């Protein structure tokens, strides 16, 4: 089936914005864009007047096994493998409906994200494209240890990396520092060493895979960057030296601004573990400042939410984009961070990430132009996954949260 949108605004993901333009796609790929698309005939023609089309979005940091409850660690501990698998699917559907057609899942107990990815690929269910890490690799007692693989020293880390790759991981997730949610650890404190992380990076590189480091404190971020990590997750305490190091190594930042934001916003609920609230409050302003400095310096950014953390719900990807806009990013750069930058980071940009001929027809139709209102990302009209409509709504805006 050949579908054509005409008279529509297009953000290609490459930095281009086309107005009163056209897009043609089939049940798999984009056929043509712009003037070429305008000349082609189609079986279905849709007048896109007033609509805006963007590439399918990537959430580069989430946890499909966590629902955004106040204490997600307790939720994980209570789940059986079967229950956790159903939870992955339920949360992925929420992502898909919000326009997120690709996700990078960074940490699932029992490597369930990898099994879920394979179930989608086998046609057992419909969902976003999943890039999974399986269980994260942490030091003994490190951040997230209750649902991760604990290992110490270069040899143990290397073996854990190889085992995780054998399980089918697309990306290795490593804990370079402490974090907000784990009791008894400091977000600013280094955990896995530079040499330990380098051993895992070497194994991932040999297997043609990428790496991600949970890294909040300055020293731990620097350790991860020097070790060759692909992406820094969170990056709460960035100083000028660390930013220069990231620019030198070409390290990508996935800021996850929504994660501490929602903990602080709900600090008075009484439901979030007190130690997590205190740490999030202590981190929030530094996180905002670090993000602003990284944007101004030109650090490559890929959008991610850390969805699944307290009150950080699946399907609310728009909040991250709104916070990025408040932090100084233009709409064009925000869209690029959530599309082409993400695809490039995953080495998938030849297949997806932009509205270009031959790429996967992962397409989101919005009712409004994000340059007119940043809340347009909440007003999703239609979502196509590889050319097939997986969500349609005449009006599906999510209420704006302040």
Q: Are 158 and 118 members of one domain? A: yes
List the structure tokens of 131.
């890039």
Q: Which of 212, 216, 274 is nearest to 242 (CA)?
A: 216
Q: Does residue 242 contact residue 252 with C-beta atoms inside 8 Å?
A: no
Rounded to 5 degrees, what are φ and ψ at 252? -95, 140
Q: Are 46 and 77 members of one domain? A: no
Q: How many domains does the chain have?
A: 2
DSSP 8-state code for residue 393: -
Q: In this structure, is residue 381 part of a structural domain?
A: yes
Q: Are 9 and 73 members of one domain? A: no
pLDDT at 393: 83
Whether the model clears a pTM of 0.85, i.e. scores above it, the answer is: yes
Q: Does residue 105 contact residue 170 with C-beta atoms inside 8 Å?
A: no
Separation of alpha carbons 280 and 274, rounded Å: 10
Q: Are 165 and 311 members of one domain? A: yes
Average pLDDT of the segment spanning 78-88: 97
Average pLDDT of the segment spanning 199-228: 98
Q: Are 248 and 363 members of one domain? A: no
Q: In this structure, is residue 230 part of a structural domain?
A: yes
Q: Are 258 and 157 members of one domain? A: yes
pLDDT at 363: 98
Q: In this structure, is residue 250 part of a structural domain?
A: yes
Q: What is the CATH number of the domain that holds 43?
A: 2.30.40.10
Task: Using CA atoms of 315, 319, 324, 330 in order, give the dihedral in degrees to the nearest 10.
Answer: 90
Q: Are 215 and 123 members of one domain? A: yes
Phi-psi region of 387 (alpha: psi -120 to 50; beta: other; left: phi over 0): left
Q: Which of 103-107, 216-220, 273-277, 353-357 has the lowest mean pLDDT?
A: 273-277
pLDDT at 395: 54
Q: Which of 124, 237, 227 is nearest to 179 (CA)?
A: 237
Q: What is the CATH number of the domain that holds 86?
A: 3.20.20.140
Question: 38 or 402, which is more confident?
Answer: 38
- Residue 215, pLDDT above cutoff 80: yes
- Residue 113, pLDDT above cutoff 90: yes
Mean pLDDT of the chain: 96
Q: Are 135 and 205 members of one domain? A: yes
Residue 181, helix vs strand vs coil? coil
pLDDT at 398: 42
Q: Give strand ranges (E) for 244-367.
A: 252-254, 363-366
- Residue 147, pLDDT above cutoff 80: yes
* Cα four-point dihedral sign 174, 180, 183, 186: positive
DSSP 8-state code for residue 377: G
- Residue 400, pLDDT above cutoff 50: no
Q: In this structure, is residue 124 part of a structural domain?
A: yes
**pLDDT, tens digit (0-9, with 9 covering 90-100), for 2-50:** 999 999 999 999 999 999 999 999 999 999 999 999 999 999 999 999 9
Strands, sheet with 171-175, edge to edge from the N-terminal-most edge strand: 149-150, 137-138, 171-175, 210-215, 231-234, 252-254
Separation of alpha carbons 377 and 129, rounded Å: 20
Q: In this structure, is residue 400 part of a structural domain?
A: no
Average pLDDT of the segment spanning 345-362: 98
Q: Domain range for residue 10? A: 3-55+355-392
**pLDDT, tens digit (0-9, with 9 covering 90-100), for 383-396:** 999 999 999 986 54
Q: Does residue 308 contact residue 63 with C-beta atoms inside 8 Å?
A: yes
Q: Are 167 and 247 members of one domain? A: yes
pLDDT at 309: 97
Separation of alpha carbons 118 and 89, rounded Å: 12
Separation of alpha carbons 100 and 314, rounded Å: 10
Separation of alpha carbons 230 and 263, rounded Å: 27
Average pLDDT of the segment spanning 263-283: 94
Q: Are 44 and 96 members of one domain? A: no
Q: Are 15 and 118 members of one domain? A: no
């Amino acid at each position: 089936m050949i579908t054509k949108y005409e008279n529509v605004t297009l953000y290609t993901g490459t930095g281009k914005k086309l107005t009163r333009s056209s897009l043609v796609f089939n049940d798999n790929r984009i056929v043509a864009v712009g003037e070429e698309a305008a000349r082609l005939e189609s079986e279905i023609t849709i007048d896109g007047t007033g609509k805006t089309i963007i590439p399918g979005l990537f959430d580069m940091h989430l946890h499909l096994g966590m629902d955004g409850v106040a204490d997600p660690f307790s939720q994980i501990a209570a789940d059986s493998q079967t229950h956790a698998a159903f939870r992955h699917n339920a949360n992925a559907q929420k992502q898909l409906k919000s326009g997120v057609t690709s996700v990078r899942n960074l940490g699932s107990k029992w490597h369930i994200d990898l099994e879920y990815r394979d179930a989608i690929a086998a046609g057992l269910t419909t969902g976003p494209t999943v890039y999974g890490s399986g269980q994260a690799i942490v030091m003994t007692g490190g951040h997230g240890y209750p649902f991760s693989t604990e290992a110490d020293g270069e040899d143990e880390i290397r073996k854990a990396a190889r085992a995780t790759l054998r399980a089918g991981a697309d990306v290795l997730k490593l804990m370079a520092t402490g974090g907000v949610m784990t009791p008894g650890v400091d977000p600013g404190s280094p955990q896995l060493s530079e040499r330990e992380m380098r051993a895992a990076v070497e194994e991932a590189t040999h297997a043609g895979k990428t790496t991600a480091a949970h890294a909040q404190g300055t020293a731990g971020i620097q350790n991860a960057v020097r070790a060759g990590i692909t992406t820094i997750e969170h990056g709460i305490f960035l100083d000028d030296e660390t930013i220069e190091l990231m620019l030198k190594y070409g390290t990508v930042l996935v800021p996850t601004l929504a994660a501490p934001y929602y903990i602080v916003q709900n600090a008075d609920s009484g439901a979030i573990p007190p130690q997590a609230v205190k740490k999030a409050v202590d981190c929030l302003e530094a996180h905002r400042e670090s993000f602003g400095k990284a944007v101004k310096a030109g650090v490559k950014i890929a959008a991610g939410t850390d969805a699944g953390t307290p009150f950080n719900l699946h399907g609310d990807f728009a909040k991250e984009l709104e916070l990025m806009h408040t932090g100084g990013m233009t709409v064009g750069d925000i869209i690029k961070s959530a599309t082409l930058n993400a695809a490039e980071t995953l080495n998938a940009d030849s297949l997806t990430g932009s509205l270009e001929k031959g790429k996967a027809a992962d397409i989101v139709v919005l009712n409004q132009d994000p340059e007119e209102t940043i809340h347009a990302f909440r007003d999703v009209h239609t979502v196509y996954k590889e050319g097939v409509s997986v969500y349609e709504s005449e009006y599906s805006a999510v209420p704006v949260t302040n």
